[in-house]
């Protein structure tokens, strides 16, 4: 029996797959937080310096790659350029931040993770991205299940909610749900590929990955990723309906982009408005209160803080760690809070109106560029759906943050429509 020779290019490519998966796994933060916990006390916090050093160590190869690329004027005019300006603006807020040291650390982390997202966008095709993401999610989920089964300290909350190796249930749940939505896309790919000799095995493995991830997400009792899942399904179904519409032959690419996309944005805004109006009834159906587990008080406090400094903000993620902000009226209602538990309020609070406008413009432009690509197989609608999955989750948690895998994946998906480098060899895509 003879084996085909494995050349150095193939080895390097598989090494890069492994690196990308390891990078995303580390940026789920659970492994790093578990590694650098200062003590076994219930309220212990991980040591900051070793934590940041670990993240940066894994980010170095991606930073080196991007630094060697040539950027064009087209890139600067697209979502990539807007997101770069967005990160630079948040970094600039350090100059007037009420806690400049913390703001500097957080803004630099945001910028480096943004660069890692650009790397991931340019080095892998969509199917490669999905495969890497699914692989990257599994170690954290499996280790978490092992920790829970063996009653590791803090692997479950006092109420019995699953936490695993992560800091809390709201950190574990997104990992599980990202695994679910990514594996579902690959499950579809395996299903339609009738000629694949390993098709049955792939279907079985991916089906188990989906089921396992969903069970973990449910056992966390975190509502945030399920809100994201609803948004993901709604957006995915919308673009699949457009793709399979009998009227599609009468819709050229220009009409799809200019008219259908405009209608899609209008529909998204309308649905968001209805969700806000009927949030109490929806929450009651899930046994939740309209306070969003106390988040409503935090949001009111953040909004009042934004109104005090609407143009420039308090400095990126600086307000909650400054005495000037915490001396506002009713500060005791949010004592011990480190962020707004809403990414958009954190943007308003930290970077003012300009930060939100830059972010919104990048999202609108990025999705605009992705619209034509959904005309391929069903997986091509996944990037648009994932973006809105991310945006929906940002309403409940601050996922626009450095050294976090969701920010990296968001940047990667949003900027995939731009070209700053020659696409890598795709011989291993299958």
Chain segment 58-117, per-residue pLDDT in tens: 999 999 999 888 777 777 778 999 999 999 999 999 999 988 899 999 999 999 999 999
The answer as to whether 118 is a domain residue is yes
Q: Please state the pTM of the whole predicted model.
A: 0.89
CA-CA-CA-CA dihedral for 407, 413, 417, 423, to nearest 10: 100
The answer as to whether 4 is a domain residue is no
Q: Is 75 within 8 Å of 348 (Cβ atoms)?
A: no
The answer as to whether 427 is a domain residue is no
The answer as to whether 254 is a domain residue is yes
Measured CA to CA, the distance from residue 259 to residue 347 in angstroms comes to 30
The answer as to whether 2 is a domain residue is no
The answer as to whether 376 is a domain residue is yes
The answer as to whether 41 is a domain residue is no
pLDDT digit string, tens, across residues 184-219:
999 998 888 888 788 899 999 999 999 999 999 999
State how many domains the chain has: 1
3-state class (DSSP) for residue 156: strand
pLDDT digit string, tens, across residues 111-143:
999 999 999 999 999 999 999 999 999 999 999
pLDDT at residue 256, rounded to an integer: 62
Domain that holds residue 374: 11-34+47-414
The answer as to whether 256 is a domain residue is yes
Instruction: Report residue 238 as tokens.
Output: 């919308």
Q: Is 130 within 8 Å of 182 (Cβ atoms)?
A: yes
Place of tokens 């998906």: 413
């Amino acid at each position: 029996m003879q084996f085909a020779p494995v050349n150095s290019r193939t080895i390097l490519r598989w090494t890069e797959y492994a690196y990308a998966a390891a990078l995303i796994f580390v940026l789920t933060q659970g492994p790093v937080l578990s590694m650098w916990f200062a003590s076994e006390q219930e309220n212990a916090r991980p040591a900051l310096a070793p934590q940041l050093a670990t993240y940066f160590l894994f980010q170095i190869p991606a930073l080196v790659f991007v630094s060697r690329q040539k950027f064009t004027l087209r890139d600067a005019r697209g979502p990539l350029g807007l997101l770069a300006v967005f990160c630079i603006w948040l970094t600039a807020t350090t100059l007037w931040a009420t806690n400049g040291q913390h703001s500097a650390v957080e803004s630099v982390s945001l910028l480096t993770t943004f660069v890692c997202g650009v790397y991931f966008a340019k080095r892998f095709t969509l199917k490669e991205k999905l495969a890497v993401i699914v692989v990257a999610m599994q170690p954290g989920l499996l280790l978490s299940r092992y920790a829970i089964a063996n009653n590791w300290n803090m692997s479950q909350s006092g109420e019995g909610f699953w936490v695993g190796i992560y800091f809390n249930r709201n950190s574990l749940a997104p990992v599980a749900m990202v695994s679910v939505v990514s594996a579902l896309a690959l499950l579809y790919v395996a299903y339609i590929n009738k000629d694949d000799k390993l098709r049955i095995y792939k279907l079985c493995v991916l089906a188990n990955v989906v089921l396992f991830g969903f069970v973990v997400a449910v056992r966390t009792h975190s509502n945030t990723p399920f809100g994201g899942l609803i948004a993901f399904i709604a957006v995915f179904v919308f673009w699949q309906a457009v793709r399979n519409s009998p009227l599609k032959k009468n819709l050229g690419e220009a009409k799809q982009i200019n008219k259908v996309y405009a209608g899609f944005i209008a529909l998204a805004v309308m649905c968001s408005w209805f969700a806000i109006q009927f949030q109490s009834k929806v929450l009651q159906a899930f046994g939740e209160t309209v306070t969003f587990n106390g988040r409503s008080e935090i949001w009111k406090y953040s909004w009042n803080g934004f109104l005090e400094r609407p143009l420039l903000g308090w400095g990126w993620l600086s307000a909650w760690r400054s005495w000037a902000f915490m001396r506002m009226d009713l500060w005791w209602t949010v004592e011990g809070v480190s962020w707004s538990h809403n990414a958009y309020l954190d943007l308003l609070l930290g970077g003012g109106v300009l930060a939100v406008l830059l972010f919104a413009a990048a999202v609108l432009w990025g999705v605009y560029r992705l619209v034509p690509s959904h005309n391929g197989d069903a997986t091509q609608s996944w990037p648009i759906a994932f973006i809105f999955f991310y945006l929906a989750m940002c309403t409940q948690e601050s996922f626009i943050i450095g050294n976090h895998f969701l920010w990296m994946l968001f940047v990667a998906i949003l900027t995939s429509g731009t070209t700053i480098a020659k696409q890598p060899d795709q011989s291993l895509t299958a």
